[in-house]
Amino acid sequence: MEISETKKYNYHIHINSNSLQNANEYVLNARLNGINVIGFIDYAPTSEIEFPNNSKNVYSNILEYISLINGLKRDNPDMTILCGLEAIYDETRESYLGELREKVDYMILGIHDENNLENNPNYSIEYAKKVCQGIESGIFDLVVHPDEFLKFRSNMDTEDKRNEFDNNSKKAIELITSTALTFNIPLELNTENIKNTIEFWKIASLKRNRVLLGKNIKSSKEFSELSNTELDDLIHNLHLNFVQKEYNPILDRLQNQRLSYTYRNRQSKTITIYTSLSKRLLTKIFETIPKTDDKETIIYYINSYLDNAVNIDGEKANNIDQHLLERIETISNTNLSINEKSKELTRIKSEITRTNEVLQRRISLINLIKDGVKYAFGVGTNNEQDVIEIVTSLIEIKTTKNDSNKKILIDKITEIEERLKTNGGKEDVAKLARHNPAFNNDTPNSNTNLFIWSNNGFINLMTLAIIVSFILGFGIGLAYMILKIN
């Protein structure tokens, strides 16, 4: 296919909550530059149990974003406009990423990793593994900048490390291109990087990987920069297997049986982000605490570590609050109009509220873990594996929306109880079952908003103190904000 035909679409157009009002300019400039198929992308928002990250969207904004793109679709019937999200794959967030996938037209996999870059000759392998894990999840429709790891070669400070980096990069290229080929998922060739990553695309050409030409567009004016004769000649000589000009990720997924099956199969088995966080935390605790057979000692150590986790979360929430107060100070000293200041302060107020809600959910999750640990030892468990399995099963029952999985987990816990009773469990299993959080009929399992409060309807005094101190922190900030603006 001619290079010119690949420039009639772009599926990597970044737009976020700060540039929604300029969305029509993107469409207009795309049309003026002969592009009639465009896909808007925002970074995947953090979940309801993750603290807001300044570099990412938050879940509360996603409906506004989707609504805006749907409006553009209606207003521009001559264009094909799609709504997408860009995300990094994370095993603990797989269920949540699947929820997001159901809300948009397509999702792109983009690894942005600023960790372990300095003088790390193994980075290319680490990067490739993350890309391959994302592809294998079935969530993503295409991979953007799959070659980005190559630009970090210059970070190596010795010739030996550069040679090691080069050898690892060859393996990384093989891993990414082979996995993408297996799942028949396109790789985006970003025109900004091609000169420094030509070796990647030579292999992709030899393997006949499907390739989609694109550019990471963050301004409506960048559409005019897609034409570059020098780059066109370079790309043409690679003889890449470009997707057809009619390529559409929605239709492509429908025709990709392996990708669709993998996605459905994996999502049916994933655990919620609440359960993932619980499992990771408990595993870390058991790796740290002293080895002992005394249950009271084990429970003491587990609760101490969980209390420490609550304190860390409280400190993090307060740090976010402090950052927001600094933003308020900045806004009050700007020349923005009263209306503009009001909009920005409303946004900050929303972020403060969200941070408070996240803190409360995380504290409530810690309390559920404590209840689960107490219950696990109460039914007679005497090993780490059973404790983690019982606790995570209880939390999954409480947070999953999959009713069939819920029933399976309840049966599993009952089996564990019977096994422990047979092996000498000291307490009456039937009695304990009535106090099992999984059988609490007063708390509907499907509503994760109930995580704002603990399993038994209240939060302990230490927890309450942390929440109150946090609320007082941003309450003072709000009062300060009002005084400054007035």
pLDDT digits (tens, 9 = 90+) for 50-80: 987 754 565 557 888 898 899 999 999 999 9
Residue with tokens 């990414």: 176
In whole angstroms, give the CA distance from residue 193 to residue 213. 12
423: buried, middle or exposed (CB in 10 Å: 19+, 13-18, 0-12)?
Answer: exposed
Q: What is the pLDDT of residue 222?
A: 73
Q: What's the pLDDT tens digit per position in 188-244?
A: 998 777 778 899 999 999 999 999 988 777 777 777 665 566 677 778 888 999 998
Which among 428, 6, 406, 338 has a CA at the least distance from the CA of 186? 6
Q: Cβ–Cβ contacts within 10 Å for residue 223, how many?
A: 23
In whole angstroms, give the CA distance from residue 100 to residue 63. 11
DSSP 475: H
Cβ neighbours for 18, distance < 8 A, ≥ 6 positions apart: none
Domain boundaries of the chain, sorted by first residue:
3-269, 273-485
| Dihedral over Cα of 354, 356, 358, 361: its sign | negative
| Dihedral over Cα of 220, 221, 223, 226: its sign | negative
Q: What's the pLDDT tens digit per position in 94-136?
A: 999 999 999 999 999 998 765 656 788 999 999 999 999 999 9
In whole angstroms, give the CA distance from residue 219 to residue 110. 19
End-to-end CA distance of the chain: 62
Phi, psi of 289 (to 5 degrees): -75, 155
Residue with tokens 């003088």: 119
**The total number of residues written for the chain in this structure:** 486
Cβ neighbours for 188, distance < 8 A, ≥ 6 positions apart: 11, 12, 108, 142, 143, 144, 145, 146, 211, 212, 213, 214
Residue 323 near residue 51, CB atoms below 8 Å? no
In whole angstroms, give the CA distance from residue 95 to residue 275. 10
Q: What's the pLDDT tens digit per position in 21-60?
A: 678 888 888 888 888 889 999 889 889 999 877 545 655 5
pTM (2 d.p.)? 0.82
Q: Which amino acid is at 132?
A: C
Q: What is the pLDDT of residue 114?
A: 59
Q: Which of 284-293, 339-348, 424-433 has the lowest mean pLDDT?
A: 424-433
Task: Say which CATH superfamily domain 3-269 falls into.
Answer: Metal-dependent hydrolases (3.20.20.140)
Q: At what angle do helices 384-399 and 273-288 cross, to 10 degrees?
A: 160
Residue 176 near residue 146, CB atoms below 8 Å? yes
In the chain, % of residues over pLDDT 70 = 80
Confidence of residue 18 (pLDDT cuts 50, 70, 90): low
* Residue 237 three-state SS: coil
pLDDT at 381 over 80: yes
Token output for 87:
């995300």
Q: At what angle do helices 62-75 and 23-32 cross, to 10 degrees?
A: 40
Residue with tokens 């948009």: 104
Phi, psi of 83 (to 5 degrees): -115, 120
Token output for 38:
């465009």
Alpha helices by DSSP H, listed for 224-256, are 229-236, 249-255
